[in-house]
Amino acid sequence: MRIVLQRVSRAAVSINGGPPRGIGRGYVLLLGVTHADTAADADWLAAKIPVLRLFPDDEGKMNRSLLEIDGEVLVVSQFTLFGSLRKGTRPSFSDAAEAGAARVLYEHFVNTLAAILPRPVVTGEFREHMDVELVNDGPVTLLLDTGWKSANRE
């Protein structure tokens, strides 16, 4: 699984031109799933994200977690995170998981994360056209990828 995490002051997603679903201070998580991903990968990411210390403390250092600041999360499925431009000029998505398997892991991740967080998790809609608007705070943008995990995940 691959997540592009952006710390935001606010964000929203509109599905097929519909009304926006939004959050305040927290994270936007763009989530991609590949063939080798498992529920254990989703569980590891869902447990790690709420405790990452990416919010400033009173001295301005990244020392506070999402849980500590009572932050919100917006999760958007994004198969294009596994797009490849190694050959040609049109992306290949052969590394992205098949839609049915990806949906299962996406939903598993969202449900696992929702069980940890005190606030509801806001989501986009799987396999729908979405417009995502956000104000990146910092800017802070990180990439989490379970394909890079070691035998002893840290």
The burial class, CB within 10 Å (0-12 / 13-18 / 19+), for 13 is buried
Residue 148 is encoded by which pair of tokens? 């890079």
* Residue 78, CB-side half-sphere exposure with 13 Å CA sphere: 19
Does residue 6 have an active-site annotation?
Answer: no
- Catalytic choice (6, 78, 123, 146): 78
Distance of alpha carbon 111 from alpha carbon 118, whole angstroms: 13
Residue 98 is encoded by which pair of tokens? 């098949």
Does residue 79 have an active-site annotation?
Answer: yes
- Catalytic choice (38, 80, 93, 141): 80
Does residue 78 have an active-site annotation?
Answer: yes
- Catalytic choice (55, 79, 82, 109): 79
Residue 30 is encoded by which pair of tokens? 């763009």
Active site residues: 78-80
